Amino acid sequence: MVERCKACGFCVEFCPTKVLALSSAFNSKGYHPPHVVAPEKCSGCDLCGMYCPDFAIYGQRLPVAKEAAPARTAAATNLEVARES
C-alpha cells in the first residue's frame, strides 16, 4: 500500500496526536510516504485513514488483553513497511 501514497501530507497534518511525519524515503513513484514517529501517541482513531485520498494508510485500535492498558496503539501495516523501506 505504500506504493499508493502520493505524499499529499493530509495524514501528517490532521493526525490529532501527531503520530506521523513524511519520511525521507521514496516509494517507487518518487513520493515520500509518511512514517510513524510517535507510535505511543496513536489512538487508533483512523482519521489518517479517512483523510488519505490514496487508500494508503489507516489506523486501527488493537484488541488487547483484559489486564493490559486501555486499548489504543494502532498503526497501519503500510507505515511499518514504509519505515522499513
Partner 1 sequence: MTILDVTNPVEPFLRTDRMPHIWCPGCGIGTTVNCFARALIESKIDLQSLALVSGIGCTGRVAGYVKLDSFHTTHGRAIPFATGLKLANPKLNVIVYSGDGDLSAIGGNHLIHAARRNIDLKVICVNNLIYAMTGGQTAPTTPGHAITSTSPYGTCEPAFNLPHLVEAAGAVYVARWTTFHVKQLARSIGEAFQKKGFSFIEVISPCPTLYQRRNKLGDGLDTMKYYKEKSKVKHGAPTSEVGLTMTGEIIVGKFVDRDRPDYQSLLHAQMVESLGESYVEPSETVCSCS
Binding site for partner 1 (CB under 8 A): 1, 3-4, 6-10, 13-14, 29, 31, 36, 39, 46-47, 49-55, 57-58, 60, 62, 74-77, 80-81
> In angstroms, what is the minimal distance from the CB of 66 to partner 1?
20
Residue type, 72: R
Q: Over the Cα atoms of the chain, what is R_g?
A: 13
CB-wise, 30 or 70, nearer to partner 1? 30
Tell me the CA distances in angstroms from 34 to 25, 47, 65, 81, one per residue in order: 9, 14, 29, 10
Work out the number of other CB atoms within 10 angstroms of the CB of residue 84. 9
> In angstroms, what is the minimal distance from the CB of 55 to partner 1?
6
CB-wise, 45 or 66, nearer to partner 1? 45
> In angstroms, what is the minimal distance from the CB of 23 to partner 1?
15
CB-wise, 20 or 76, nearer to partner 1? 76
CA distance linking residue 42 with residue 63, whole number of Å: 14
Residue 59 grid cell = 489506523
